[in-house]
A and B are shown apart, each in its own frame.
Chain A
Amino acid sequence: MTNRLNRSVGGTLFLLFFLGFLGIFMVIPLVFTISNAFKPLNEFYLFPPKLFVRNPTLTNFTDLKQILANFWIPFTRYLFNSLWVVVLGTGGHVLFVSLAAYPMAKHDFPGKNLLFSITVLALMFSPEVTKIPNFIIMSKLGLIDTYTSMIIPSLVFPLGLFLMKQYMEDLPDSLIESAKCEGASEYAILFRIIIPLVKPALMTIVLFNFTFVWSQTSGEMGGGYIFSEKLKTLPYVLVQITQGGFGSMQVFAWDGIVAVINFLLISIPIAVFLITQSSIVETMATSGIKD
């Protein structure tokens, strides 16, 4: 614990009180999301609603399993679609960003500064700005309703490149110089020397890209490029069930089903975050935009 300077007890209490107040506001919806998933049907209709579950049950989970089992496309297909898009999208993003961030951070080629300012500019506007042109470009390329259409947006996600470039810039140049003296190629320098040193940044862009892919393919409005039932991702299908329509089959999604689905949808990104959390803090320490 570091030594505390200039700290008044009153001030500390005031800050903690305010933090606690905010924390309760933040956490109550999350507690409901978790406990509702385990509530039996009758506890959904208690008046007033209870924050914590009294008689936890797994019926909601088995009910959801039943719904998915009755559908003509097996549940595993949706799971495969999700994994496929995440592996190719996030994996490709991490690989391409690593390749590009290294020259952007350490080489001095013409056009570099212009490219970087464009990348920072891309952080400044909403992805919806490019939604319509991208739809048209994808349809001209024949990519609508393919895995590629779900993968491309995650490949060009600008935040990943920005963070990786900032992180690599802080690595000492002497490492690269000495490797060059020993005759290492640029690719050898990147993959043998740089990549092992930027693991925290890699973990961070994995998380950000994963949550981007996860949320992007889950809303009807979010994805936008997929129409075939067999190409839908798991979050997409789960969200559709909560909205009452599941392909051409109508499903009555009672509160228990909705609760379980939300529990599943929220727990996966949180699990990924827990694994990557310490790397993220280390990486974001270089995220500042220098004047």
Chain B
Amino acid sequence: MKTLSSTWKEMKKYRHSYLMIAPYYLPFLVFTVFSVLMAMGLSFSYFNVLETPRLIGWQNYINLFLQDDIFSIAMKNTFLFVAITGPASFILCFFVAWVINEMRPKVRAAITLVFYAPTLAGVSAFAIWKFVFSGSEYGLVNAFLLKAGLLMEPLTYLKDIRFILPILIVVQLWMSLGHSFLAFIAGLQTVDRKLYEAAAVDGVRNRWQELWYITLPVMRPFLLFGAVMQIAQSFGVSAVSINLLGFPTTKYAGRTIVTHLMDYGIIRYEMGYASAIATILFLMQVIFNKTVQRGLKRIGE
């Protein structure tokens, strides 16, 4: 049984370690850990920055779930991203990494660049999609459809609620091959070739069986890492909506939890209400992530 004083002794022994981690972890604790706790605390208050926060209990949460129709659109859209772009992108990352794994290093590097470049592009990526879906006849999609005779006049895709969600999904997918993609490429390179040779002797007949019985179980730690990244990404979709569709979007059709948070936090200065949204987002991301982790750990068991 460790006593408090022995722990203290232990800690004194490691004072160098604490000194070394301090420059990173002190600001980390303030701007990440304390910050999350502060958001949780503020979520029970009315706070407009000018006056001191006033405690209002669960009122923000009650308003969010019972009164705020736009928040329910935001939730619905975000879940759509979590259900579609998250898994689709996860599979896409793995698929591309797996197909290019046996190619020559130069070819592999070139293909990696092509698929990873949209992630690097950041804000500048949206301008090109604005051009693709432009409402004028010089926009790529319009020009193509007009030329083919499928349209009589150009459509304003980015302002039309019929197209907003599909466009968000496509563009989000396009720029979602990020950290998890790189992790999968690297992870596949570490899989021992001898395992495949041994498996071939044991009767594994084709690449699909090889994938299922050997590659996926060995890749499990990387799949876990990739899932963490993809889930955080798909719950956090916002930049695409803001930059492509404007802020707010037509009839709030492109609203997500994060854009709702920004609307209340940055534009309306209702910090208590925005903090309640942040708290809900935080809890959903962490709980969902932990659940998926548990599921993925079962692969190959």
Contact = CB atoms under 8 A, between A and B. Distances in A.
Interface of A: 1-2, 4-8, 11, 15-16, 18-19, 22-23, 25-27, 29-30, 32-33, 36, 44-49, 95-97, 99-100, 102-104, 107-112, 115, 118-137, 152-153, 155-156, 158-159, 161, 186-187, 190, 208, 211, 214-215, 218-219, 221-222, 224, 235, 239, 242, 258-259, 261-263, 265-266, 269-270, 273-274, 277-278, 280-285, 287-291
Contact of B200 (A5, A23, A104, A125): A5
Q: Is the interface of B mostly helix, strand, loop or mixed?
A: helix
Given A47-B137, A132-B278, A153 B187 contact: no
B285 interface: yes
B102 interface: yes
Interface residues of B, number: 114
Contacts of A136: 38, 49, 271
Contacts of B18: 103, 109
Nearest to A125: B285
Most buried by A among B7, B183, B187: B183
Contacts of B7: 110
B71 to A, nearest CB: 15
B120 A219 contact: no
A221 B239 contact: yes
Nearest to B271: A132
A282 B186 contact: yes
Given A156-B31, A222-B239, A287-B187, 12 more contacts: A5-B196, A22-B92, A33-B124, A44-B138, A49-B138, A103-B21, A107-B14, A128-B238, A130-B31, A130-B35, A131-B261, A221-B238
Given A215-B123, A269-B120, A47 B35 contact: no
A6 B204 CA distance: 8
Given A5-B196, A158-B32, A262 B128 contact: yes
9 contacts: A32-B140, A36-B128, A99-B21, A124-B289, A125-B282, A127-B236, A128-B236, A153-B31, A221-B242
Interface string B112-126: 111111111111110
B217 to A, nearest CB: 12
Given A47-B143, A126-B258, A115 B21 contact: yes
B28 interface: yes
A218 B221 contact: no
A129 B36 contact: yes
